[in-house]
Amino acid sequence: RLVARSLARCESWMSFCDQPYIALSGGKDSTVVLALVRQINPDITAAFFDDEWQYPETERYLAGIPALIRLAHPSYHAPGFTAWNYPEPPAHLPPGTIWTGATSRPVWLAQRGYDGAAIGLRMDENTRRRVHIRSRGRLFERKDNGVWQCYPVADWTTADIWTFIATTGTPYNS
């Protein structure tokens, strides 16, 4: 029933979008979102927001994802770490990575017609996400950019995520 509800939410979300994408972090939650959405549309784009320091396992995992775009731009994460802290594209960007410069990656996507994002946020991860999902819902249109956001696994637990991966044989980032 949980999978059926999530698939129905994804189908509803895609009905509002002309050009949706999956926000793929390489983590277990976005991996399940990728598998769910691609059951409905196998050709949907997955967008990986490159934060510069990937584990080798993550690079191997990403290499097996079809219809993947990698986007990079300078972004602040924590004191002492700003990813891709360069004014110009660094020479060591991974092959195929698109440098968005000063434009944030979601804005870059919206400027190119991407009007929907499926995101692997779950309420049981932390209080802030729980409040965010409860206040906005699992499917909503962002007022600032008109992009439809969908949280297909918002109600799932960590055990639900791993059960889906194990029972479906979904490849995941080791």
* pLDDT tens-digit readout, 89-132: 888 888 889 999 888 898 999 999 999 999 999 999 999 999 99
Please name the helix (run of DSSP H) or strand (run of DSSP E) that holds residue 34, with its range, or none: helix 28-40
User: For the residues of 9-31, what is the DSSP string, one character each?
Assistant: HHHHHHHT-SSEEEEE-SSHHHH
Read off the pLDDT of residues 21-54 as tens digits, 9 standing for 90 and up.
999 999 999 999 999 999 999 999 999 999 888 8
Within 53-114, where are the H helices? 56-63, 105-111
The first and second tokens of residue 146, run together, are 């008109």
Instruction: Give all strands (DSSP E) within 19-147, no chain letters.
Output: 20-24, 45-49, 68-72, 75-78, 81-83, 97-99, 116-118, 139-141
pLDDT band at 20 (very low <50, low <70, confident <90, very high): very high
Please name the helix (run of DSSP H) or strand (run of DSSP E) that holds residue 149, with its range, or none: strand 148-150
**Model confidence, pTM:** 0.92
Cβ neighbours, 10 Å, residue 53: 9
Interatomic CA distance for residues 32 and 38, integer angstroms: 10
